[in-house]
Amino acid sequence: MGTGKRGLLTAAVTVVCAVTVLAAPGTAFAAPSRTPSPTSSPSASPTPPPSKDLEKVREKLDKLYHDAAVATDVYNAAEEKTKEQSALIVELAKKIVEGQQKLERLKNQAGAAARAQYRTGGLPPTAQFLLSDDPQQFIDGAGTVLNGQRATTKLITEMTRTQKDLQGYADDASAQWQKLEANRKAKAAAKKKIKQQISEAEQLESRLEKKERERLAELEQQAAYQAQTKWLDTGILDEINGKASAQGKKAVEFASAQLGKPYVWGAEGPKSYDCSGLTSQAWANAGHPIPRTSQEQWKQLKHVDIKDMRPGDLIIYFDDASHVAMYVGDGAIIHAPRPGRTVTVAGAGSMPILGVVRPDA
The bridge status of strand 314-317 relative to strand 302-304 is unpaired
Which residues, at least 6 apart from 19, have a Cβ–Cβ distance to it below 8 Å? 330, 331, 332, 345, 346, 347
What string of DSSP letters covers 244-310?
PPHHHHHHHHHHHHTTTPBB-TT-BSSS-B-HHHHHHHHHHHTT----SSHHHHHHHSEEE-GGG--
Beta bridge partners of 171: none
Q: Is 66 a catalytic site residue?
A: no
Among residues 17, 66, 275, 288, the one annotated as catalytic is 275
Residue 348 to residue 332: CA distance in whole angstroms: 5
Residue 92 to residue 114: CA distance in whole angstroms: 33
Residue 62 to residue 224: CA distance in whole angstroms: 12
Q: Is 335 a catalytic site residue?
A: yes
Q: Are 295 and 93 in contact (CB under 8 A)?
A: no
Q: Is 323 a catalytic site residue?
A: yes
Report the catalytic residues. Answer: 275, 323, 335
